[in-house]
A and B are shown apart, each in its own frame.
Chain A
Amino acid sequence: MLQAAFVLVGTIFFAAVVLAVFRIVRGPSILDRMIATDMLVATLICALAAEMVQHEHTRTLPVLLVLAMTAFLATVGVARYVTQQDRPGGPQAEGGAAEGSAEGGAAGDDAAAHDTTSGRAAR
């Protein structure tokens, strides 16, 4: 009974990790990837704790501590150097931007939303 519950918990954690990896692969911007990476590490910490409860040991406690201490470093480092280039529909997504301009030019605030949708459509 208890073992079945642990298997179910593990399956739910696995589903969450798969969804996070999907967002890391899919993007569309580097910020989305870093947010998903942060969430992946948080899920990993929870899953390691669940594994410790299941197998009744405390050997991975230092791993939890180190992950909790260092998980934010990569995110901070990447966020420091995010530029306009990383925008969905920016220079990297050339096809999406071209399609967007064919539908009619939008300026200012509309352009941001416009680029997001057209970039997604191009993909």
Chain B
Amino acid sequence: MSAAELLDAGSVLFLFAAALLSLAAGIGIVRFPDPLSRMHAATKPQILGLVCALVALGLQAENGATVAALVPILAFQMLTAPVSAHMVGRAGYRTRHLRRDLLLRDELADAIDKAHADAAHHDVEPDLPGLVTDEDTSTPRP
């Protein structure tokens, strides 16, 4: 078995890993009950799947320039994936797109309670833009 064949086999193995991670994300995104748990599933191919695919690509590279081109792809994905995840998670929490009965612990609620308490202590409105509180949802919807 030559070196080239070994590299080919390695590439295929890494591509298999990437494909299986994508499939796991697909299954999770269909089966999980609420946006927060679906976010958890959707991140699988975003970083680890991409790393596997890029390693497979790097094993086939004939020169260093190709490998160097792979680095910014991973860097940008690592920079931008948390940004979108943070925005989606924040919007989901604020507009209550989540199943409270599935949460074990809600640490953000403690921080919000503290913000409310601090604001009450200084006799001002808490600075929590966009947050939907329990009072809003207990009123009957149109």
Contact = CB atoms under 8 A, between A and B. Distances in A.
B20 A34 contact: no
Given A8-B16, A47-B22, 7 more contacts: A31-B91, A42-B81, A45-B53, A53-B12, A68-B80, A80-B91, A91-B141
Interface residues on B, range: 35 or more
A19 B42 contact: no
B2 interface: no
Contact of A116 (B27, B57, B99): B99
Interface residues on A, range: 35 or more
B18 A23 contact: no
A52 to B, nearest CB: 6
B73 A42 contact: no
A53 B29 contact: no
19 contacts: A2-B9, A16-B22, A29-B35, A29-B97, A39-B45, A49-B50, A50-B18, A50-B53, A69-B76, A72-B84, A75-B88, A76-B84, A79-B91, A84-B95, A86-B97, A91-B142, A108-B138, A111-B137, A112-B99
A11 to B, nearest CB: 8
B8 to A, nearest CB: 6
Interface string B48-89: 011011101100110000100110111011001101100110
B114 to A, nearest CB: 19
B141 A46 contact: no
Q: Is the interface of B mostly helix, strand, loop or mixed?
A: helix
Interface of A: 2, 5-6, 8-9, 12-13, 15-20, 22-23, 29, 31-32, 34-36, 38-39, 42-43, 45-47, 49-50, 52-53, 56, 58, 61, 64-65, 68-69, 71-72, 75-76, 79-80, 82-84, 86-88, 90-91, 97, 107-113, 116
